[in-house]
Chain A
């Protein structure tokens, strides 16, 4: 067996999955978004589905909501993850327990977490009842609206809770690989603890932090199940709109659902490209 055939055989499963499932799926989505669905008698591709969704009254609101959710949860999760990683890098009693607790929720599915948030934070949830029992509020209904609210607080809460350990883990691995020698050098060169963090450790962690944050952002921007459970009736996050359109009994809405999926994907890819450029510019010297 030549090296080339061996390589081809080794890559075959991955290529099959990528080509067979991902590319075919992407192709079909694109075709349908251009209203090309021979089964329904649509054989004349056009852009009307895109025009329809982009000019629909709620589209811009939904897009803004999705961007808001993704940006806010990524920023909060990344900041808290940085603090957590810095804390867990120290040795102190109880470190192992905290480390375990932080990693525990990596194993919990998003949807389970979402339902948990609903049970805890909704106006009929545990915290509302506790606050009522403690006499802090007159009726549970006075509890602040934290879930299924129009600004997506419940969704952001879930994403921060769920993605914080993921970013923390990546940062910790990064810190372990870097060691603390660069900071020691910085201190010895006259940098205070804060200056060594700000001018040496943070820039060196940036590539990893950006990579992890991009993944979190892409997920929070494109996933539908969490905003479906924890989102308000209106406005709806963009992926929820796409999901509803694609499961509508009226098959005529399919092209619009597909067009929305394409728009979500395009925005995601555009952001990834921006990130890659920022990385190439800012971190070219970083390993």
Chain B
């Protein structure tokens, strides 16, 4: 069980002039499954490579428990990284691939064969050990790559977009496999992903990186319901944003005063409300809205609304939306417990996490 921490980690690629990673401070608890979430090009893979030691940081430190590993070469860190592509060695069989790390450690062949056989069956590749990588499907290759890393029982396991190259059906299977293997082994694991739904479904903890900076860290529902900044809310599919002022438990905005939940901060803020929390029908904080659009999305229907000229969106069930037509009017309510206040300007700072 190992706790991983990053301290002021910074990296600028030569010639780009712009930092790929801007001084990240981050702690990943021992035995947790943490998702490193962020849009493409936000510095996630760079952060992983810095942890794995495949590139050197310009500044900052990587620690496992209390000991710094920044100066250690990748092979001596006890950190193993699985890449987005399986990158199996084409000249070796699947069994040889999985046994690679153990061979490099100089373990006796009998021990290696034993570990490899157990691992093959654990990732459901029994009987495929003698095949070459090219003879396996994409999903099988990805599982072999996972097995090749797990067999080493690393202190920290890094998975870079392990699902993004898989078909949707296989993605679910792989997600469950990662989850159950992680729970079984208790290896501190970081999964990189750009897909917020995947991060929410997979991880205990989410670390959201935006533009090379840590935007927010916490359990999935905290980022979902209590975003620290506008950018975080947007990344998690937030669409309803009302600028205004909080005073004495009321939020004064373009749609009139709204009752806030108890303990809401005072002053200028941006109020946000998740589209699925905006209720169609009477209730607390009721408003009359004009329907601007109705979009059927399958399991849900998106309803575009205008309240006093302010655009809002609601996600509801197709049943409830069946009577709605664009141009019509409907009563909507904004439940106080679903209202959340964001800092007014587009800052990414999270009060709990100092950002350099």
Contacts and interface: CB of A to CB of B under 8 A. Distances in A.
Interface string B118-141: 000000000000001110000000
A192 B75 contact: yes
Contacts, number: 80
A187 B52 CA distance: 9
Interface stretch (B17-25, B83-91, B177-185, B190-198): B83-91
A181 B90 contact: no
A188 B54 contact: yes
Contacts of B79: 188
Q: Report the interface size class on chain A.
A: 20 to 34
Nearest to A203: B91
A285 B90 contact: yes
A89 interface: no
A189 interface: yes
B4 to A, nearest CB: 15
B90 A204 contact: yes
Given A184-B54, A284-B132, A191 B92 contact: no
Nearest to A192: B75
B148 interface: yes
B91 A181 contact: no
B104 A181 contact: no
A284 B105 CA distance: 26
Given A184-B54, A285-B133, A285-B134, A190 B104 contact: yes
B141 to A, nearest CB: 12
Interface string A54-83: 000000000000000000000000000000
B90 A286 contact: yes
A280 interface: no
B90 A199 contact: no
Given A181-B83, A285-B134, A287-B90, A189 B54 contact: no
A189 B80 contact: yes
A188 B89 contact: no
B91 A188 contact: no
Nearest to B81: A188
A188 B87 contact: no
A63 to B, nearest CB: 34
Nearest to B145: A185
B73 A192 contact: yes
Interface string B156-187: 00000000000000000000000000000000
Interface in A268-287: 282-287
B149 interface: yes
Contacts of B148: 189
Given A185-B87, A203-B91, A190 B152 contact: yes
A282 B92 CA distance: 10
Contact of A184 (B83, B100, B152): B83
Interface in B31-66: 49, 52-54
A241 B116 CA distance: 58
Nearest to B54: A184
A189 B104 contact: yes
Contacts of A145: none
B101 interface: yes
Interface of B: 49, 52-54, 73-75, 79-81, 83, 85, 87, 89-93, 100-101, 103-105, 132-134, 148-149, 152
Q: Which 5 A-B pairs have the closest CB atoms?
A: A285-B132, A189-B101, A187-B74, A285-B90, A203-B91
